[in-house]
Structure 1
Amino acid sequence: MARKKTPEPKPAACSVCKGTGEVSRTVRVGRRHREVGQQTGLCLNCLGSGEAPAE
């Protein structure tokens, strides 16, 4: 008799990056820290995996 495989539950998405693994940061330049745009970077909460970190 064959056993049925139970599907593994999907890990929860990271609350900071919403599961993408990237976050947007404002880029500032000059002495007065003028904002010139945005740049994407690695999410430091989940380290780019997109999954919620373990407690």
Structure 2
Amino acid sequence: MTSGKRSTRRTAKPKPCPDCRTGQVSESFKVGTRSKRESTDRQEALCLTCFGTGQAAE
């Protein structure tokens, strides 16, 4: 048995998503029955680039 220092591999720090940074984006939406006008309100949606993780794909 040898006593020695074990080397451990460091993992890279995850990079934030370039599109959202949090995993969610805000989007506008349309309201109405026929004319479908654009609403001034915003709603939160899942980021399709990172699928809600907030980390960039490698």
TM-score normalised to the size of structure 2? 0.68
Unpaired stretches in structure 1, ≥5 consecutive residues: none
Root mean square deviation of aligned Cα: 2.0
Cα deviation 1:1-24 (Å, max 9, x = unaligned): 76686764321110110x200001
> 1:26 and 2:31 equivalent?
no
Q: Which has the greater radius of gyration?
A: 2
Identity of aligned residues (%): 42
| Total equivalences in the alignment | 53
TM-score normalized with structure 1 length: 0.71
The reply to whether residue 45 of structure 1 matches residue 44 of structure 2 is no
